[in-house]
Amino acid sequence: MQVRFNQPTLWDAFLHYLAANKYPVPKALLQRDHSAVYEPSPEVQRIIVNVYKKDPTVAQIAERLVDLDEGFMEWRYRHVKMVQRTIGTKMGTGGSAGAEYLMTTLNQPAFPDLWAIRAEL
């Protein structure tokens, strides 16, 4: 599992796809440490806004990523509710805080740059 954790993510693949399609993705992002949490990038956000305005094919791929991300967020919400219904406020598996911990994961998008630009589209 640790080996996979240190490999590129789906978001990294999308950034490489953008670069392969001649979008100026910063090299630092293309060569980032994959074990580190991705931080939203204003440069990438500007690129994505441009994609949505000028490149419908690539914009459709970005929208599918938004759909995937939204689906995961919906699953997390349903999971929290199932845990609350099943164990209430008891400690969760593996010693976690259970539903209380799960609540902290609800608004954590996998692709934050795609959500950050919504008002600009």
**Mean pLDDT per 10-residue section of the chain, whose length is 121 residues:** 90 98 97 94 98 98 98 94 86 79 90 97 88
Q: Tell me, what DSSP letter sits at residue 106?
A: T
Task: Calculate Rg over the CA atoms of the chain.
Answer: 17
Q: If we measure between CA atoms, which residue out of 79, 83, 111 comes closest to residue 9?
A: 111
Dihedral, CA atoms, 91, 5, 32, 112, nearest 10 degrees?
-50
Query: What's the pTM value of the predicted model, to 2 decimals?
Result: 0.87
